[in-house]
Chain A
Amino acid sequence: MIDAEASPDPRSLLPLPLAQFHVLVALTAGDLHGYAVMGAVEESSGGVVRMGPATLYGTLKKLVDRDLVEESDHRPSSNDDERRRYYRLTGLGQAVCRAESDRLSTLVSIARSNLRPGLA
């Protein structure tokens, strides 16, 4: 039986705050520790989004509390620092990330269509 409370409709969680979406997108690449997430966000945003430590972990906390992200026991390499916590997307996190991507993609299409060259 599907538990509706345990698996909310991903669209009901949209729109995502920008920082949360950036972190979800960073984690689509695989399991990452906090600092790696920070670097991935900065890189994917072309340096526009620069998170501080508390912004990062505050965002991760919210995502974990909402079951979009979970801590991972998986270690990419055996000589990695044991104290580092790794994070990964949950099934719901992937669905929400996909839904937000679709939403933004639709929005971008509308903007591009309305801003056709020559109309300015």
Chain B
Amino acid sequence: MGTGSAIRVYRSLLVLYPRDFRDRYRDDLVQTLTDLSAELGPRRAWRRVTLDLVVTAPRYRMETLMKQEHISTVLIVATTAMACAGIISLSIDGLSLGVLLLPLAAVLAITQRGRLARSMDAVDASRLRHKRLRIAAVLAVSLPVIYLVSLPILGDEWGADAIVAFGLWTAVLIAAVSYFVAGITTPKSRVISR
């Protein structure tokens, strides 16, 4: 492969990186490949660049993804939905799906939210931390309210109303815990990501 073709191929492979990274460093990356090819020879240069691409492209994509705040909302919704579905499944047809969904929701709520918060590297991390703790507080306050409101519909029988009320209460509890964990693990100031 000639140098011109190699550069064209590498330039097109840069699409694997997040947009802001490739927009900012496209020319520098290509220039570095040219420099490496001149110093090491095309084959060794390509070997190094390919290995680098395989390692860094998914990593930078993941880092970009984890910095986007809406992903945390998606995670919370997913966790809550999974927990609700698990509880309803357990109530209606015994074990089966609920056994799978509830631990999965718990794992997501604890580990994934923690990792997500730690990887938050936003300049306005302090604002994000306060926002999450505020949401956790609102959700926590709403727990007894939901319980009191649902009391009249909870009878001795374990019917559909009780399942819905219990599912809602559990969902709010999981969301409150998730936001609290995310809030306290979000850095107070800017940090070096590892």
Contact = CB atoms under 8 A, between A and B. Distances in A.
Given A35-B35, A83-B31, A55 B190 contact: no
A57 B60 CA distance: 11
B192 A13 contact: yes
A29 interface: no
A98 interface: no
Nearest to B33: A53
B58 to A, nearest CB: 11
A8 B190 contact: yes
A7 B191 CA distance: 13
Contact of A85 (B21, B28, B35, B49): B28
Given A35-B35, A61-B21, A54 B29 contact: yes
Given A34-B28, A61-B24, A84-B31, A54 B192 contact: no
B27 interface: yes
A52 B28 contact: no
Interface of A: 5, 8, 12-14, 16-17, 20, 34-35, 38, 50-58, 61-62, 66, 81, 83-85
A111 to B, nearest CB: 21
A96 B73 CA distance: 35
A109 B127 CA distance: 40
Interface in B48-71: 48-49, 51-53, 55-57, 60
B21 A53 contact: no
A62 B193 contact: yes
Nearest to B51: A52
Q: How large is the interface on B (under 10, 10 to 19, 20 to 34, 35 or more residues)?
A: 20 to 34
B192 A66 contact: yes
A112 B175 CA distance: 50
A65 B48 CA distance: 26
Interface string B16-44: 01000100110111011101100000000
B32 A56 contact: yes
Contacts of A61: 21, 24-25
A66 to B, nearest CB: 7
B189 interface: yes
Given A8-B190, A38-B32, A61-B25, A54 B57 contact: yes
Given A35-B31, A84-B31, A57 B48 contact: no
B17 A54 contact: yes
B31 A55 contact: no
Given A61-B21, A83-B27, A53 B190 contact: no
A96 to B, nearest CB: 9
Top 6 closest A-B pairs, CB basis? A52-B52, A53-B32, A54-B56, A57-B25, A35-B35, A53-B29
Given A52-B49, A84-B31, A58 B24 contact: no
